[in-house]
Structure formats: C-alpha cells, structure tokens
C-alpha cells in the first residue's frame, strides 16, 4: 500500500494513522538520534511530537512532494527547534548501533578503512549540526539530492555544495585528531 | 508502552484534531493577500510620491484653468503605473500559484518568466512615446 493510499484512509478513519507510525517510526527515530545525539527520553518525546504534528497537518500535505520527504521535513524542523531551545549537550553514548550498518560509501569517500568506523562516528559527533545532518541524510538515510532539497528546502546544487563542505569538515576533524 | 499507543493516547487525551484543509488554504491565501497588499501599497506610495513631487514643481500650471489641470493629469506617470499594475498582477498570480514553498523547477520557471516580463516591461516603457497619443485620446 502506498503512502498516499494510507493517507486517504487516515482522513476517513484516524486509527489508520497507526500504519503511518508503523512505517516511519524507526526511520524517524534513527534520523533524530543521528542528528541530535540526545538521550532516549528526549528522542521519544520528539518522535511523538513529530507524529502528532504530522497528524494535525495531514490535510496540508501535497502529493507534489513525496510523503517521506514531507515527514522528514517535519522531523528536521522539530529536531532543530529542540536543539536550539534546549542547547543540548552531546551524550557520551557512542551510538554505535546507529552507525553499525554504515556506510562503507562514506568510508570510501573519506578514504578510510573499515577499522576507522569508530573514529568517523566520533568525528561526526563533533561536526556542526547542518553538516552532520546532510551526511546523515545522504549516507545513512540514503536520500537523493532531490529528496534532500525537499527536506531541507534548499536547491539541489546547494545540497551538493553542503555535502562537499560537510565531507571536507569531517576530513579536517579526522586529520586534526591525528 | 509502545510509541504508537502513546501517540494515540495523547491524541485522545488532548483532543487533537486534524486541522481542516480550508484553514491551510486560508493561511496560504492570507499570506498571499498580505504580501500583495504590502507590495501594492508601497508601489502606489512611490508612484504617488513621484507624482506629488512633479505636481509641486509644476503647480503654477494650475493657473491655466482646465488646460492646466489636463497638463497636470498628463504628468501622472501612466506608463510606470501600467508597468507597476501589470507586474504586481502577474506577481500576485505567480505567488498564489507557487506560494512561499520552495520548488526547484517552479523556481527556474519563475525566474525565466520574470526575466521575460521584465524585458517586455522595459520595452514598453522605452517605447512609451509611441503609445502617448492613444493615451491622450483615451484621457480626453
């Protein structure tokens, strides 16, 4: 069943909204964790806030965008607001599980070996949130430039430039550590 | 308790409802109307100011009676007013279609269209003398 079909059902019966939660909860949770590094309780609250906001605004969703981009956009806004509001400090948790399946492409692009995963994880934590976010979207959420531009409301070329700068920043952090 | 249950509990407890579509439409068109109204007002203020300055300089022509008044009306920057009206109308139309939502393809199309409109308007203003006779006839 496509997202659009589920949305039509939700508009008729609110209990169908559970299907959207089932489909996106894990993705949104991982996304929030990867960019915010906040503690699990805060992540829980944020995930709930995101879905409640999605529920409230469902009538404003336009099918000219993918539903996935739309929901990520809401998650992005909520998380950034939360980071700004709370001025959260990064947890000491290594978040290893979040990067477990990662992402040989990122290591390849950085010319790093498989053993350097932990260093890359730590370096990601030190990055500016806007750079961490784009790395996350491109390598971990595997979003295309078009989807990234929809989620972050930037142009496709800006997404490319931002990703380039993010990788440069990541390399710099890794080099400085050495 | 699963997140899904927590979300539904919150929706029920706080009586959270989906906002109806018309509210989003009102917000969207309210924004379009607000921004358009500000643009129209600022544009008109500029045009009226230009006209008032011109009128201030040429006030003595009022002493020439009807002819003086006609000359004064003739001093109204009609071509700029027409250009302003056209561009504002097109702007409002495009804004209501595209809104503030960023969209790459829409944006590129918009820039092309704006450049085309700009070229047409500049041409019209440059050639305004050609239309002046017709304008005078209409005024009379």
pLDDT confidence of residue A74:
93
Mean pLDDT of chain A: 83
* Least confident segment among A84-93, B34-43, B68-77: A84-93
Q: Torsion-angle region of residue A142: left (phi > 0), alpha (psi -120 to 50) or beta?
A: left
Residues A166/A127, Cβ–Cβ less than 8 Å = yes
Question: How many A×B Cβ pairs under 8 Å?
Answer: 56
Question: Which ipTM did the prediction report?
Answer: 0.77
Residue B102: its pLDDT value, please?
46
Confidence of residue B137 (pLDDT cuts 50, 70, 90): low
pLDDT band at residue A73 using 50, 70 and 90 as cut-offs:
very high
The answer, yes or no, to whether residue A100 has pLDDT greater than 70, is: no
Distance from CA of A81 to the nearest CA of B (A): 19
Give B37 to chain A, closest Cα distance, Å.
24
Q: Among A22-31, A152-161, B81-90, which is the least confidently predicted range?
A: B81-90
Report residue A48's pLDDT band, with 50, 70 and 90 as the boundaries. Answer: very high
- Chain A contacts of B21, Cβ < 8 Å? 59-60
Between CA B5 and CA B1 the distance in angstroms is 7
B3, B24, B103 ranked by CB distance to A48: nearest:
B3
Residues of A in Cβ contact (< 8 Å) with B12: none
Q: Read out DSSP for chain A?
A: --HHHHHHHHHH-GGGHHHHHHHHHHHHHHHHHHHH---HHHHHHHHHHHHHHHHHHGGG--TTS-HHHHHHHHHHHHHHHHHHHHTPPPPS---GGGGTT--HHHHHHTT--GGGHHHHHHHHHHS-HHHHHHHIIIIIS---HHHHHHHHT--HHHHHHHHHHHHHHHHHHHHHH-
Collect all residues of chain A within an 8 Å Cβ-Cβ radius of residue B4. Answer: 18, 21-22, 25
Nearest-Cα residue of chain B relative to residue A146 = B104
Q: A53: pLDDT confidence band, cut at 50, 70 and 90?
A: very high
Residue among B10, B104, B105, B111 with most chain A CBs within 10 A, to mutate: B104
Contact A56 B102 (CB under 8 A): no
* Nearest residue in chain A measured CA to CA from B2: A44
Residue B98 clears pLDDT 60, i.e. is over it: yes
Give pLDDT tens digits for B7-33.
999 998 988 889 998 998 888 888 778
Q: Kindly report the pTM of this predicted structure.
A: 0.68
Q: How large is the average pLDDT for residues A133-158?
A: 87
65-104 in B: which are within 8 Å (CB) of A?
Answer: 102-104
pLDDT at A171: 87
Mean pLDDT, residues A59-68 taken together: 85
Instruction: pLDDT band for A114, please (50, 70, 90 cuts).
Output: low
């Amino acid at each position: 069943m496509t997202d659009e079909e589920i949305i039509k059902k939700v508009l008729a019966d609110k209990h169908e909204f559970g299907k959207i939660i089932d489909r996106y909860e894990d993705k949104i949770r991982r996304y929030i964790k990867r960019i915010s590094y906040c503690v699990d309780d805060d992540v829980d609250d944020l995930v709930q806030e995101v879905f409640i906001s999605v529920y409230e605004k469902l009538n404003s969703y336009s099918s000219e965008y993918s539903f996935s981009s739309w929901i990520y956009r809401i998650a992005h806004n909520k998380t950034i607001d939360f980071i700004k509001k709370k001025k959260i400090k990064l947890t000491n948790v290594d978040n290893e599980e979040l990067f477990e399946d990662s992402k040989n492409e990122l290591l390849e692009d950085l010319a790093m070996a498989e053993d350097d995963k932990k260093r890359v994880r730590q370096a990601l934590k030190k990055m500016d949130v806007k750079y961490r976010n784009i790395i996350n979207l491109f390598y971990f959420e595997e979003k295309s430039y078009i989807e990234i531009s929809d989620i972050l409301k930037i142009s496709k070329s800006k997404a490319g430039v931002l990703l380039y700068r993010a990788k440069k920043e990541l390399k710099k952090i890794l080099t400085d550590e050495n | 308790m699963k997140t899904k249950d927590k979300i539904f509990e919150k929706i029920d407890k706080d009586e959270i409802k989906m906002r109806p579509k018309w509210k989003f439409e009102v917000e969207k068109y309210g924004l379009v109307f607000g921004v358009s109204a500000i643009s129209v007002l600022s544009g008109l203020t500029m045009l009226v100011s230009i006209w008032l300055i011109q009128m201030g300089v040429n006030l003595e022509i009022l002493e020439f009676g009807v002819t003086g008044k006609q000359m004064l009306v003739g001093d109204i920057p009609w071509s700029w007013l027409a250009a302003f009206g056209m561009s504002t109308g097109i702007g409002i139309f495009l804004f209501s279609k595209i809104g503030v939502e960023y969209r790459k393809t829409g944006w590129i199309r918009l820039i092309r269209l704006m450049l085309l409109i700009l070229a047409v308007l500049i041409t019209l203003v440059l050639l305004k003398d050609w239309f002046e006779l017709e304008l005078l006839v209409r005024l009379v």
